[in-house]
Amino acid sequence: MRRDGAAGDFDALPVPMIKLTAQGVIFRANRPACELLSIDPNQEVLLQNLFEGLGRSIPDWLADAIEGRGINHPEFLRLARKDREVFVQVVLNKITLDGEVGLIAVLSDATELKTLEAQFVQSQKMQAIGQLAGGVAHDFNNLLTAISGHCDLMLLRHDGQSQDYADLVQINQNANRAAALVSQLLAFSRKQTLRPEALDMRDTLADLTHLLNRLVGEKVELDLKHDPNLKTVRADKRQLEQVFMNLVVNARDAMPDGGVIQISTQNLTLDTPLRHDRVTIPVGEYVSIRVADQGCGISADKLAKIFEPFYTTKRTGEGTGLGLSTAYGIIKQTGGYIFVESQVGQGTEFRLIFPAFDAPKAQLTPSKAANPPKNVKFSGGVILLVEDEAPVRTFAARALKLRGFDVIEASCAEEALERLTDPDLHIDVFVTDIVMPGRDGPSWVKEALVNRPETRVVFVSGYAEDVLETQQASVPNSVFFPKPFSLERLTETVQKQMQS
């Protein structure tokens, strides 16, 4: 097909435009189109070699346009390039040149539009995963409470000499491991219950170094560098340790032939807001932590997706896609920021930024290993236990009775309020689930406290603590107690409420 003579006018158009043969060969592209498609003006190329992602055959799409079907209807296609994602909106129309039928296409860069659309879809997906995770975690936490609770009751009837004792301890330990997995589900939606404390990251990383060295193996070396005057941060130590373990394991996997993983900490003072990856960090004092490797790096098209749940850059069978999404949820819930920079063949660097904590450094207490429950009785008291899950209610009632408390059980809020109609009934502590069929825990407790204002309250839930906050339930003399819980923790919490 011959080129038309109005080349100057066509090139001067400010809108990217191309002319195609009926077979899809680009024989004319103006200057903006050449820049958008990264092609030479004199180069004849098939349209189907430039684009992908239409959802059907590009030759069929062009054939429909030649027949007059689908013209003037915009389609979004992706340029076939590996360095970055570029989306182009294409509108086709028929033309006749020198007696031959062809096509003219008007192009526009739709990358920003598609990026915003992808971000919106991702936010919806994360919200759906968060809702699913919250529901699954609630049900599993009820199951784990019943399993570990009844195991605690059996351990009270066995000593170390019993042949069943070791088996019961194994059940108890594995129930605790399952509870840790459930907390990972909640980390996706940033709804796990954190236990923040003031942390010196130098001490936290020093405590973790021995385990990290075992994880990386002999080929990989850990290089830690700290600011000598590092400020404290306020975070959940156990959750932060999980973040560092995920980052270090990923760095190790990126260096199969060995290398150095650098972990460095420093104070960061922002006099002006810092903008990074569409996120603005306000003015203030921060602690910055960098985890860098010398590995294979991550390509630009994959880098934007690495915090998505179930997305992994590793080969099939080597990664679940859960580690970085969990780390992201933990850091965001802590009030921090996480950024990543990577170049293929040169390595990857994760940067974590946490607000500095001005309070004096807290005395860190070593974590205590879970011990079998001891049969110790507390002073008596009357407990109203409200729990809709029968196995959990059975365990909690037996546990409290074994410790010397009198327990009145109710399976729902309505039953609890009916019991409280007796003016002669004295209750020391309400122990109630938050989420129940019918009325929830905070609403019935508020009604009950009108006539019993001195009664203490223990809220229990398999959901996170913010379930209480989202319902704006400001209940005096109350504490939150997450499931799953052990016999000792339940009875100690109730006893502390009675003594407070």
| pLDDT tens, residue by residue, 59-71 | 888 888 888 887 7
Q: What is the pLDDT of residue 427?
A: 92
Dump pLDDT digits (tens) for 396-425: 898 898 888 999 999 999 999 999 999 889
Task: Tell me which range, 40-44, 405-409, 490-494, is most confidently predicted by mean pLDDT.
Answer: 405-409
Tell me the pLDDT of the chain averaged across its residues. Answer: 80
Buried b vs exposed e over 12-46: b needs ≥16 C-beta within 10 Å? eeeebbbbbbeebebbbbbebbbebbebeeeeebe
Query: For position 129, what pLDDT does the model report?
Result: 64
pLDDT at 135: 67
Section 92-104 average pLDDT? 85
Angstrom distance (rounded) from CA 484 to CA 469:
20
- Token pair, residue 10, equals 């066509």
Strands 382-386 and 406-410, bridge-based pairing: parallel
Return the minimum-mean-pLDDT range out of 80-84, 404-408, 478-482.
80-84
| pLDDT recorded at residue 3 | 47
H-type alpha helices, 73-200: 111-156, 165-188
pLDDT for residue 288: 94
Neighbouring CB atoms inside 10 A of 361's CB total 12
| pLDDT at residue 239, rounded to an integer | 81
Backbone phi and psi for residue 70, each to the nearest 5 degrees, phi listed first: 80, 10
158 or 44, which is more confident = 44
Query: According to the model, what pLDDT value does residue 350 have?
Result: 92
Mean pLDDT along residues 453-477:
72
At residue 274, the pLDDT reads 87
What is the mean predicted confidence (pLDDT) over 155-177? 77
Model confidence at 97: pLDDT above 90: no
Summarize pLDDT for 345-398 with one digit per residue, the tens.
889 999 999 999 875 544 444 444 445 555 555 557 899 999 988 888 988 898
Domains parsed from the chain with CATH numbers? 7-109 (3.30.450.20), 114-188 (1.10.287.130), 201-357 (3.30.565.10), 382-499 (3.40.50.2300)
The mean pLDDT value for 459-476 works out to: 65
Number of helices (H), then strands (E), belonging to the chain: the values are: 15, 21
Checking if the pLDDT of 14 tops 80, the result is yes
For 220-236, the pLDDT digits (tens) are 888 999 988 899 999 88
